[in-house]
Amino acid sequence: MKYVKQFLIVILISFVGELIHYYVDLPIPGSIYGMIILFILLQSKIIKVHQVKEVSTFLIEVMPLMFIPSGVGLLEKWGLIKGIWLPLSVTIIASTIIVMVISGSVSQLIIKKGNK
């Protein structure tokens, strides 16, 4: 029953994020809104970590399975992609590096502020 309750908390927050996405005309996915809401609720101690820890761990463990449909979709659309694979690959690699650099910098900044 504990897992059902934890999963319902995560699903409810995800649903609220999707509602915000539906009503707010910004190009931000509902899942991002949901993660921000969950972060705020965890930081403000409205939701305690132990209330979502086990389900969160499970969802992270099965995350690779969530990429299978995307991979199949790419294979199905290969006819459209093969003409632009080089610029697409460069864009993906460049954006990945940018995200890694920014994420690492922000993480280091947070760690330094936490040590003070």
Q: Angle at Cα 32 formed by Cα 26 and Cα 35, nearest 5°?
A: 145
How many whole angstroms separate alpha carbon 22 and alpha carbon 37?
A: 15
pLDDT at residue 70 in the model = 87
Give the integer Cα–Cα distance in Å for 6 and 50. Answer: 9
Reading the block at residue 78, the tokens are 């290969």
Query: Which pLDDT score is estimated for 114?
Result: 82
Whole-prediction pTM value? 0.65
Q: Helix, strand or coil for residue 22?
A: helix
pLDDT in tens, the chain (116 residues): 889 999 999 999 999 999 999 999 899 999 999 999 999 999 999 999 999 999 999 999 999 998 899 889 888 988 888 889 899 999 999 999 999 999 999 999 999 988 87
Q: Which two tokens stand for residue 37?
A: 């809401």
